[in-house]
Amino acid sequence: MVLVFERLLVSNTKINAKNISLRQIFDAVPRLDVKSILSMEPIGQELIIHGWVRNFRSNRFIALNDGSSINNFQLVIDFEKFPEEVIKRISVGSCIKATGKLNPSLGAVQKSELVVDTLDILGDSDPALYPLQPKKHSLEFLRDIAHLRFRTNTFSAIFRIRHAVAFAIHQFFNDRGFFYLHSPIITASDAEGAGETFQVTTLNLDKIPRTEEGEIDYKKDFFSRPSNLTVSGQLEAELAALALSKVYTFGPTFRAENSNTPRHLAEFWMIEPEVAFNDLNDNMDLAEDMLKYVIQYILSNCSEDLKFLNDRDQEEQKQKPQQERNEFSLLEKLDFCLKNNFERISYTEAIEILKNSNPNKKGKFQYPVEKWGTDLQSEHERYLVEKHFKKPVILYNYPKEIKAFYMRQNIDNTTVAAMDILFPGIGEIVGGSQREERLEKLESRMKEMHRPIQEMYWYLDTRRYGTCPHAGFGLGFERLILFVTGMSNIRDVIPFPRYPGNAEF
Ligand code: ATP
Ligand code: MN
């Protein structure tokens, strides 16, 4: 046993010991993933490898991928040593297990290769039927086979990065003393009014129980009242923040908005930090720090995947007419975001810029900007970010009429302490505010906006007992993934997108 252990240490000096389980150490031959093998010095050591065939050429070279890396690993087989039936079953998409020796490669592309001693076909893949071939497929085609698209370079890179971003977000908050709060998925009212909700019911839709007045009898429903999937965890996060001080949620949210856009999903993930004693400026600082932290994290930890997506994006850009091409490559864009402060301007300043802008004067906006108080459309947000400032922008102090009831009213009586962060190519990525902590102000705003005061006694209780200034924001996780991967459709950065007319897989 000691011998085996020593051999492993000697031959695999470069692999990270965390990648090997105890069982593997005691196994005679270690099973390693592609990523670890690619980092090793080849000195003829024996290995076991598993993976899916990406390509098989000249009846001799297998390009194998197991998802641990964007890079394939080359296996070399001497086809005279293996029965023809086995060779025939090595096809694109099939799954194999191989043992062999890791030798320096004679090819120019790779440092090492496995000279195969034994080969098992774990899963066949009929080449006549397998939809993925070693060539470029369109994103639309791959969306229709989302159950298989993980096996492409593009999607494996996206989902490895998605993981890294999620991990970085937890790390960011954990390092700063935040507590991860699990807000409920099923809630009893669309209290916030953030969007159209999906109703949750166990009532038999063919035989809906009615009251004597003919209304739906929700007393007979599962929760004895109407309920729905959450549109946001903010209100619950506020309750916790007024005791734990610093909390964040990170969970799925659901909006039945019928918006067939490349930036909206019916099911998406949101990160919602909520911090006691923070004001609007602290809130902006927190959001900017977090976004920069995440970008830095993936630049340091996902460089190969980012390089791949960067090159992919460059290819895409070449297909476009000159004026539609991005000014920056993906990597330049991320670097730029990291090195520059986000521009912070008030809504009022933004309206002035938009009113006097060329597209507005020339009637190029679909929604012309005429007066203070109008809601900004995505064309306006993108003008500010992409044409005017050419960097991320934080807009703050919005008219209270176009914002939610819980946002803190400013001294001018017309604006609230809201902030939205706008990103190039994306538009709104973060929406947040300092919350109204003063009971009377909150109640009167709720009355004006017809929010149910009685029903929301629990929310108002935080203002009744030991209220304090606090602030928070919501970050759309998929919008962030869109930005850092350079993809253009939100349906391509979540494993199985839900949108109007589609809940496949
Ligand atoms: P938009 O105006 O883009 O629809 P919103 O104002 O409805 O956004 P908020 O209610 O403030 O958005 O939600 C917070 C964040 O969640 C947004 O900044 C955005 O990043 C994200 N988001 C909102 N709606 C969706 C959606 N349907 N799909 C994906 N992400 C979303
Ligand atoms: Mn919306």
For the stretch 135-171, pLDDT in tens is: 889 999 999 999 999 999 999 999 999 999 999 999 9
pLDDT at position 25 is: 58
**Could you tell me if 247 and 349 lie in one domain?**
yes
Share of the chain above pLDDT 70, in %: 93
How confident is the model over 117-139, as pLDDT tens digits? 999 999 999 999 999 988 889 99
Q: Which residues 6+ apart lie within 8 Å of 236 measured at CB? A: 181, 183, 184, 249
**93: nearest Cα among 58, 68, 56, 60:** 56
| Last residue within a domain, chosen from 104, 123, 142 | 123
CB 474 less than 6 A from any atom of ligand 1: yes
**96: nearest Cα among 46, 27, 153, 49:** 49
Tokens of 246: 């610093």
Q: Quick count: other Cβ atoms within 10 Å of Cβ 176?
A: 15
**Could you tell me if 110 and 165 lie in one domain?**
no
**Could you tell me if 177 and 322 lie in one domain?**
yes
pLDDT at position 38 is: 96
- The count of domains in the chain is 2
Q: Mean pLDDT throughout 394-406?
A: 97
CB 430 less than 6 A from any atom of ligand 1: yes
Beta strands, E only, 124-216: 179-180, 186-187, 199-200
Within a domain: 395: yes
CB 114 less than 6 A from any atom of ligand 1: no
- Residue 461 confidence (pLDDT) above 50: yes
| 146 vs 497: CA distance, rounded Å | 9
Within a domain: 17: no
CB 429 less than 6 A from any atom of ligand 1: yes
| Beta bridge partners of residue 74, listed in sequence order | 63
The answer to whether the CB of 247 falls within 8 A of the CB of 205 is no
CB 491 less than 6 A from any atom of ligand 1: no
Q: Which among 231, 234, 257, 264 is the best mutation to test ligand 1's pocket, defined by most ligand atoms within 8 Å of the CB?
A: 264
| Last residue within a domain, chosen from 108, 123, 138 | 123
The position carrying tokens 């709060």 is: 181
pLDDT at position 26 is: 62
Within a domain: 53: yes
Torsions phi, psi for 182 (to 5 deg): -95, 100
The position carrying tokens 């070449």 is: 318
pTM: 0.93
CB 428 less than 6 A from any atom of ligand 1: yes
**Could you tell me if 160 and 117 lie in one domain?**
no
Nearest ligand to the CA atom of 271: 1
Torsions phi, psi for 379 (to 5 deg): -60, -35
Q: Which among 428, 429, 481, 482 is the best mutation to test ligand 1's pocket, defined by most ligand atoms within 8 Å of the CB?
A: 428
How confident is the model over 419-445, as pLDDT tens digits? 999 999 899 999 999 999 999 999 999
Q: Which residue's CA lies nearest to atom 7 of ligand 1?
A: 194
Q: Mean pLDDT throughout 375-384?
A: 93
How confident is the model over 5-37, as pLDDT tens digits? 444 444 444 455 566 665 655 667 999 999 999
CB 196 less than 6 A from any atom of ligand 1: no
Report the CATH number that the domain containing residue 318 is assigned in CATH: 3.30.930.10
CB 483 less than 6 A from any atom of ligand 1: no
Parallel, antiparallel, or unpaired for β 267-276 and 343-346?
unpaired
Parallel, antiparallel, or unpaired for β 73-76 and 112-123?
parallel
Task: Give the 3-state secondary structure of residue 303.
Answer: helix
**Could you tell me if 451 and 322 lie in one domain?**
yes
Q: Mean pLDDT throughout 286-308?
A: 98
Q: Mean pLDDT throughout 347-375?
A: 95
**Could you tell me if 117 and 166 lie in one domain?**
no
CA 191 to mean position of chain CA atoms: 26
Within a domain: 242: yes
**Could you tell me if 118 and 170 lie in one domain?**
no
Share of the chain above pLDDT 90, in %: 86
Question: Containing domain of residue 36, as a range?
Answer: 31-123
Q: Mean pLDDT throughout 207-230?
A: 95
- Residue 327 confidence (pLDDT) above 90: no
Task: Give the 3-state secondary structure of residue 255.
Answer: coil
* Measured torsion, CA atoms of residues 11, 16, 18, 24, in degrees rounded to the nearest 10: -20
CB 255 less than 6 A from any atom of ligand 1: yes
**Could you tell me if 155 and 117 lie in one domain?**
no
Within a domain: 502: no
| Beta bridge partners of residue 61, listed in sequence order | 57, 76
Phi-psi region at 193: left, alpha or beta (left = phi > 0; alpha = psi -120 to 50): left
Radius of gyration, CA atoms only, the chain: 27
| 362 vs 367: CA distance, rounded Å | 12
Identify which has the larger pLDDT, 20 or 181: 181
pLDDT at position 258 is: 79
Q: Which residue's CA lies nearest to atom 10 of ligand 1?
A: 194
Q: Mean pLDDT throughout 214-230?
A: 95
Nearest-atom index, ligand 1, CA of 430: 18
Within a domain: 181: yes
pLDDT at position 11 is: 46
- Residue 501 confidence (pLDDT) above 50: yes
pLDDT at position 2 is: 42
**Could you tell me if 372 and 486 lie in one domain?**
yes
**Could you tell me if 106 and 154 lie in one domain?**
no
Within a domain: 16: no
Label residue 324 by pLDDT band (50, 70, 90): confident
* Cα distances (angstroms) measured from residue 257 to each of 62, 427, 449, 499: 47, 18, 21, 9
**Could you tell me if 106 and 160 lie in one domain?**
no
CB 30 less than 6 A from any atom of ligand 1: no
Q: Mean pLDDT throughout 77-90?
A: 95
**Could you tell me if 50 and 178 lie in one domain?**
no
Tokens of 311: 């090159």
Measure 196 CA to ligand 1 centroid, in angstroms: 12
Label residue 106 by pLDDT band (50, 70, 90): confident
Q: Mean pLDDT throughout 230-235?
A: 95
Report the CATH number that the domain containing residue 78 is assigned in CATH: 2.40.50.140
Q: What's the mean per-residue pLDDT of the chain?
A: 93
Within a domain: 144: no
| Last residue within a domain, chosen from 105, 123, 141 | 123
Q: Which residue's CA lies nearest to atom 16 of ligand 1?
A: 476
